[in-house]
Amino acid sequence: MAKKYNVAIMGATGAVGGCFLKILAERKFPVKNLRLLASEKSEGKKLKFNGKFYPVEVLDHDSFDGIDIVLSSAGASRSLEFLPSAVKAGAVCVDNTSAYRMEKEVPLVVPEVNAHRIKEHKGIIANPNCSTIQMVVALYPIHKAAGIKRIVVTTYQSVSGAGQKKVQELWDQSKDFLSKKKIRPVQFPHPIAFNLIPQIDVFTETGYTKEEIKMVNETKKIMEDSSIEVNATCVRVPVFYAHSESVNIETEKHITADEVRKLLAKAPGVIVVDDPKKRLYPMPIYAEGKDEIFVGRIRQDESITNGISMWVVGDNIRKGAALNAVQIAEILVREQLVRGASCV
C-alpha cells in the first residue's frame, strides 16, 4: 500500500501557510495526518484542507511527535528555535525562511536547478528567497549552455512578499489616495500606493540591503558556482502579487537571443512570452496564481560582446515560496528520503 505522511505546517495562518494547504491539495500530496502550527493568537482557529477543517495548535518544542515532514514559513527566529526539535523528533524540514539558507550543511534547493542536493539533507532543507528562485529557474538553462559570468538584476517586488499586513496597507492607501485623503504609512517607511520604495529589508554597511545580499549569495550557492558575479537592486512596488525582474547577464560563450528563447521554451517550469510586435511580454497581473516562471523581452545586450537582457515574472507566494517547498517534499517522498515515514 502506498505510503502517506504526517505533515506539519509552521506558520499555517500566514499567506504562505495558506498556500501550502492549497498546493498540497491541488497536487494530491500523500498526507496521512495534518498538524497546523502557529502562535498563541491563532490557537483554535480552523483551516480547511481537502474538505475537512483542522484546528490550529500552538507551536512548541513538543509539536513534532510522529511528524514526518515539516513545511515552515513561521519566520527565521521561529525556525531557528523550533526546527532543531523537529529534526530531533525524526522529521525532515523544508524551511521557507532565511534562517538556514547559507548554512554549509543545509541544502538550498530549487528543484529545476539543483534537486540532487536534496539527498544530502541532515534534517533541514532551505527554500531560497522568492526573487532568487524565479531568477535562477530562468537563468540556469543559459548557465549550462553558455556559462554566466555576471548578473545585474533589478527586482520589482510585490507587497505580498512582505506579508499580509502589507497587502492590506497597499489596499487601504490606494483607497485613501483616490479619495484624496492623507496617506499614513504604518507597515512601510513611506507610502507604497502609487509609489516605489528602493529598500527591501535593512541596509548594511556596504549600502546594499539584506534582500540584495541574499540574491547574491543564494544565487552562487544554488547554481553551484561561486565565480558568478551578482549585483542586485531590490525595489518594493505597488503590486499585490507576483514579482518582476529586469535581468542582464554576461556569458562566457556567445549566445543569441533566439538561442535563449529556444532554450527557455524547453526549460522546466518556464513559459516564454516574448512577441514585442504583438505587445506580448510577462506581467505580474497575469502571473498571479500561476506556477511557472514567465520570461520575455529577451534581447541582445549591444553594449558588450556576450550579453543578454530579459524580463522575468513569477508568483512570489506560489513558486517563490510554497510551491518550491512542496516540490522539494515531493522529491523527498519519491526518493524515499523521509526518515520516519508513516505507512498506511
**Catalytic positions, written as ranges:** 130, 243
Specify the 3-state DSSP secondary structure of 121. Answer: coil
Residue 134: all three cell numbers together: 524565479
- CA-CA distance, 291 to 26, in Å (whole number)? 12
Apex 155 CA angle, 236 and 299, nearest 5: 145
129: DSSP letter:
P
Count of residues in the chain: 344
Helix (H) or strand (E) holding 233: strand 229-236
- CA-CA distance, 205 to 134, in Å (whole number)? 27
318: DSSP letter:
I
Helix (H) or strand (E) holding 259: helix 257-265
Cell 515574472 belongs to 313
- CA-CA distance, 211 to 96, in Å (whole number)? 15
Q: Determine the residue type at 122.
A: K
- CA-CA distance, 105 to 82, in Å (whole number)? 18
Cβ within 8 Å of residue 328, ≥6 positions away: 94, 109, 111, 118, 125, 127
Cβ within 8 Å of residue 82, ≥6 positions away: 10, 59, 60, 61, 63, 74
- For 38, 108, 116, 285, 295, the CA distances from 95, given in Å and listed in that order, are 15, 10, 17, 28, 27
Give how far the C-alpha of residue 272 lies from the chain's centroid of Cα atoms, to the nearest Å: 20
Give how far the C-alpha of residue 293 lies from the chain's centroid of Cα atoms, to the nearest Å: 11
